Structure 1
């Protein structure tokens, strides 16, 4: 219960408290005896109101019935009558006198003088002192007895605990502990320790198995079953730290259409796309058994080809492109992937290798679907890749040639299958007419400060298409960058443009990602307000990944919100997603803002979202994107 030091302190405090209480009790007894003596003395002088004799005679008179230790009578009229006898303080030098003082007396007036008396308690006080002395001796004996006994007990406990600790430390050893001798009462401990040792051994085996399983989960990608980014990072580090000369090449593949497939067809289709890319890489490199395959990010893969020269590695790229071209036909997408090839050797810095790979893929993306590019040096190709993208985007702006696909957003209101609006998906191509990855074009346009011009061109092309094709009478959603929407110059341009086409403004819905609007809420609110003034509407997409819905609705006031696709996935069983969607629908309906669910992939997801009362549905299950054909 207590450690020995704490217990000894507790014992000291306890006995000190008992001693103080005992002295207080004995003092109260002494006070009672003193009060009786004073009462008897007061009775003696009660009848003496005037004294005409000497003080000595008065002393004899009062001493007859009282024990007086000190007597003093002073007659102010006749000093011959004055008389003093005894001492005020007791002659006794007993230690207990400090705790049980003998100081009982009083001062009174007896005409014509003044009388002061200190009474002696006699045998009664001595009896109380003796009782107190015996009591204190008994307490001291009890204290030291208890302290010694406690010390002995705690010492034995400490020895036993130390002995048991040695036994427990010996648990991992394979030998049993029956040879250890303990008192009979403690023998069950030996049995328990042996049982514990056996149990720990079995649990340790389970831990090893679980640890191996966790390592597989950390270092193996769940979807493609290839090695993970962590494993690839370790590989790059080992190349950098390798002392012996090593060399080889690395193939990097970017699944350029992953974002579009996830958005338009759903994440299940996106996962199937990634699995197919992983299988293609494995198949193309199967003649090189030393090759290692990795998924290093959501849309990027790497293949390490040890001891293979740069020229020999380039021969694989044609085979890889042919396989990707074939898969593209089945995928029905603009591209299956873009490939970059780089060499490596011992001492190569991981950051340099990654930069070379990014440059090679960036150049490949400008060359058309499933293109590849091999980069042997970092500096020159890095600059070429960066400039190539800028030139490519400038060429897009110059040619002003775009292709649009439309995907409908189906209304859930009143059990109808009417269309809220058609989202337009923009597709870009290079000067040779080969498709470029949309996400890469947008990212590079933002990087080179060309995004505003690109967004302007997209809006102008849509207005031109709708104006010259009367049969295109739907409402159309156009994706624009938040970097454009938050710029005052872009807003001014937009107002001037729609003043020239006032009848078309009501057919346009500008779609902007929530995370982009979050960077400047005031500017975002101004954009929505200005769009409303010219008759256009605004939809916020990928909603739920940024700031809270309450602040968003209060400050931004959009016309539509499109939930991020992550809230749709497995919504039949994901209670958190259900709660979020229901909350958003409740909030939005109070201010009449339709909520649209995206990336619907199955009938079960559609039915669950309809139960949650979303206003609109979009996804591959509802309708696949179709090319917008002018009439």
Structure 2
């Protein structure tokens, strides 16, 4: 459109120049005629032979004054020149456009001088008509051409736009433009396709779990919210939350690579079972949690789905020699419910499943819509209080075997919680829910009291036990004071206890950790840092706390026979630790090659399934 405006201005300027040029050309032609007519007028009126004129009346008597536009007479009898200016008889526009110089006539008989201009009305009118005709004709031509040009421009513009929008539209008459548009459209379609593929890929990456290939937490939240917000169709579905509990144990004892394979195996089990039912979507919503949304699934089919999952989990547990695999909390959901209500019900169902036996599932009815969202915590609080009141837990032991004589071996003690009907409740679940319900300190005190009581009644002479302590406990001043008093009352037992704390828990509050380690030294107990070597600040932590023992993380040992980098790293840990009079234990030993390599590095102690599996205390 800007080019059209420029063209319009250019054509307008051309029109003006053309009009002026033609007008000047016509003037040049008419000037000669006007001068000739003016001379003929002088001869016809015999101006050179007129007597001396002294008044205007005398002038009108001797000549036809209407034929003149201007007369000026000078003679001896006039004191000043006599002037006649006849503008009324002249076409002012043409007269001004074609000004003719006055002619001069001198009397032959007297000294009279006459200056005059002829009116030439007919010639001026003819000139004016010619000029009007030129201007009018050119103006009409200019307007016509611009209208045609503008309509043609709009026509071409519409065709080009149509060709751009729709490749089936009629092609414009401008073949070069059409070809250029076609090439550009083809290039644009290729680029658009690439962009769409990239968007789809990025969307898939943003909503997909990299390890399992399942949809992730963001996709789960989106689908659940969309389903619950559909207030018109009144849909119903089954929501299942599946939580695996052996992941941390597998990561610790077998390494993170085995942990990933464990997660992938469980994901494949859930995917395979879900594939037998219609409209079932599976998600991995956290490290150890999976979710299933089964659209329009009946409660009967939900029970079939859950029972088949349990069978698959039981088989996997038996093959891989695990205490449990996963628990399943199931609830029905429908439109117009709040996500918090739905997830709270699923959490309650999951809590019930965890105390119902190995790989169990439980169903929570959706009719309890008005329940408080914290019922899950209340439920667990009641379960944990019942455990503490009834002392419903027992102990397992796994030996830490000394490799060198100066190393004191010991039995690491694990707590196993027992629910109703003698069903085992996963230890990690109990501790995490105790943390969540603010009962963790009381629970750990009861466990430690029972450990010391069992040691007093069951332990053989020179027996040493290792006990795990949570980060919440070692950061609690009242707990540290309580434990110090308890150990001071039992000095013989205190010297036989090894308190194990995970490295990642110590670094979160170094001051409290140091206070706890100092307390253990005062009472004669031993300190052990577990999972050592995973964090970047391991050696800094080692320097600050000065533990008696460190346990090298199982992930560093898992593929030791094939990983020379890990061998060098472990050799460096052993060298540094022994220089600081700290003994080093390798956990997660599963094959003789690993043990042989570690013994060649002068490791102090070993622990793992190769040495012995956990047994009843």
- TM-score normalized with structure 1 length: 0.59
Aligned-partner Cα distance in 2 for 1:346–1:487: 45
Aligned-partner Cα distance in 2 for 1:570–1:282: 29
1:296 paired to 2:288: no
Partner of 1:399: 390
Partner of 1:277: 266
Partner of 2:551: 562
Q: Residues 494-541 of structure 1, C-alpha deviation per residue, up to 9 Å, x if partnerless?
A: 233223322222221011122332333222222212212221111122
1:444 paired to 2:436: no
User: Equivalent residues in 2 for 1:118-133 (5 A)?
Assistant: none
- Counterpart among 475, 478, 492 of residue 503 in structure 1: 492
Deviates more, 1:234-243 or 1:471-480: 234-243
Deviation at 1:285, TM superposition (A): 3.4
Q: Residues 10-33 of structure 1, C-alpha deviation per residue, up to 9 Å, x if partnerless?
A: xxxxxxxxxxxxxxxxxxxxxxxx
Q: Contact 2:273–2:305 (CA<8 Å) still a contact in 1?
A: yes
Deviates more, 1:322-331 or 1:506-515: 322-331
Number of corresponding residues: 436
Q: Secondary structure, in 3 states, of the residue corresponding to 1:519?
A: coil
1:628 paired to 2:606: no
Deviation at 1:442, TM superposition (A): 0.7
Partner of 1:387: 378
Partner of 2:124: none
Would the alpha carbon gap of residues 383 and 493 (structure 1) be closer, same or farther in structure 2, given more than 3 Å must change? same
Q: Secondary structure, in 3 states, of the residue corresponding to 1:288?
A: coil
Would the alpha carbon gap of residues 343 and 599 (structure 1) be closer, same or farther in structure 2, given more than 3 Å must change? same
User: Equivalent residues in 2 for 1:152-191 (5 A)?
Assistant: none
Partner of 1:252: 241
Aligned-partner Cα distance in 2 for 1:256–1:554: 33
Aligned-partner Cα distance in 2 for 1:218–1:611: 47
Aligned-partner Cα distance in 2 for 1:570–1:387: 43
**Structure 2 unaligned runs (5+)?**
1-174, 177-182
Would the alpha carbon gap of residues 320 and 578 (structure 1) be closer, same or farther in structure 2, given more than 3 Å must change? same
Aligned-partner Cα distance in 2 for 1:208–1:410: 60
Q: Contact 1:294–1:303 (CA<8 Å) still a contact in 2?
A: yes
Q: Contact 1:466–1:472 (CA<8 Å) still a contact in 2?
A: no
Aligned-partner Cα distance in 1 for 2:522–2:204: 57
Deviates more, 1:223-232 or 1:248-257: 223-232
Deviation at 1:273, TM superposition (A): 3.9
Partner of 1:617: 606
Deviation at 1:438, TM superposition (A): 0.4
Partner of 1:527: 516
Partner of 2:227: 239
Q: Secondary structure, in 3 states, of the residue corresponding to 1:410?
A: strand
Deviation at 1:550, TM superposition (A): 4.2
Q: Contact 2:207–2:217 (CA<8 Å) still a contact in 1?
A: yes
- Counterpart among 536, 542, 545 of residue 525 in structure 2: 536
Partner of 1:357: 346
Deviation at 1:340, TM superposition (A): 0.8
Aligned-partner Cα distance in 1 for 2:562–2:199: 29
- TM-score normalized with structure 2 length: 0.61
User: Equivalent residues in 2 for 1:319-468 (5 A)?
Assistant: 319-346=308-335, 350=339, 352-375=341-364, 376=366, 377=368, 380=371, 382-413=373-404, 420-468=409-457
Q: Secondary structure, in 3 states, of the residue corresponding to 2:450?
A: helix
Would the alpha carbon gap of residues 308 and 555 (structure 1) be closer, same or farther in structure 2, given more than 3 Å must change? same
1:261 paired to 2:237: no
Would the alpha carbon gap of residues 208 and 436 (structure 1) be closer, same or farther in structure 2, given more than 3 Å must change? same
Q: Residues 235-276 of structure 1, C-alpha deviation per residue, up to 9 Å, x if partnerless?
A: 335435657634311211111222223333444554454344
Aligned-partner Cα distance in 1 for 2:191–2:593: 42
In angstroms, what is the RMSD of aligned CA positions? 4.0
Q: Contact 1:248–1:310 (CA<8 Å) still a contact in 2?
A: no
